[in-house]
Structure 1
Amino acid sequence: MKQIKTLLIAAILFVGANQTMSAQAKIAHVDTGEIMSKMPAMLDAQKQLETLSKTYDAEYKKMVDEYQAKLKKYEAESTTVTEAVNTDRSKEVQDMQKRIVDYRDNAQKELQQKETDIVKPLMDKVKASIQKVGKAKGYQYVVDGSSLLLADGPNLTADVKKDLGF
Structure 2
Amino acid sequence: MKNFKTLLLIAVLTLGMGGVANAQKIGHIDTDKLIQSMPATKAMEAELQKTQKTYKDEIEALGKKYEAKLQKYGSEEKSQTAQTNEQRKAEVQQDALRIQQAEQFANQEMQKKYAELMNPILEKAQKAIKDVAAEKGLTYVFNSSPGKGLLVFDKGIDIYDAVKAKLGF
TM-score by length of 2: 0.88
Note the 1:11-26 alignment, pairs <5 A: 11-26=10-25
Residue 142 of structure 2 corresponds to residue 157 of structure 1: no
Equivalent runs, 1:48-87 vs 2, <5 Å: 48-87=47-86
1:75-110, CA deviations, whole angstroms, 9 ceiling, x for partnerless residues?
222222101111110111111011101111111111
Aligned residue identity for 1:164 = L
Give 1:47 shift.
0.4
Letter in structure 2 aligned against 1:18: M
Q: Distance in 1 between matches of 2:76 and 2:111?
A: 41
* CA shift digits 1:112-156 (9 cap, x unpaired): 111111110111111111111110111122221112111121000
Deviation at residue 66 of structure 1 after TM alignment: 1.5
Could you tell me how far 1:7 is from its partner in structure 2?
Answer: 5.4
Q: Which residue of 2 aligns with 1:100?
A: 99
Equivalents in 2 of 1:149, 1:73: separation in Å? Answer: 62
Q: Which deviates more from structure 2 when the two are superposed, residues 120-129 or residues 72-81?
A: 72-81
Deviates more, 1:144-153 or 1:20-29: 20-29
Deviation by residue 1:5-42 (Cα, 9 ceiling, x = unmatched): 87566544433322332333221111111111111111
**What amino acid is the match of 1:162?**
A
Paired with 1:92 and 1:22, the residues of 2 have a C-alpha distance of: 78
1: CA distance between counterparts of 2:83 and 2:16? 92
Distance (Å, rounded) in 1 between the aligned partners of 2:166 and 2:101: 44
Instruction: With the length of structure 1 as denominator, give the TM-score of the two structures.
Output: 0.90
The match for 2:35 is 36
Query: Which whole-Å CA distance do the structure 2 matches of 1:47 and 1:63 have between them?
Result: 25
One-letter code aligned to 2:117: I
Unaligned runs of 5+ in 2: none
Aligned residue for 2:113?
114
- The within-5 A match list for 1:113-132 is 113-132=112-131
Return the alpha-carbon distance in structure 1 between the equivalents of residues 71 and 3 of structure 2: 102
Q: Unpaired runs of 5+ in structure 1?
A: none
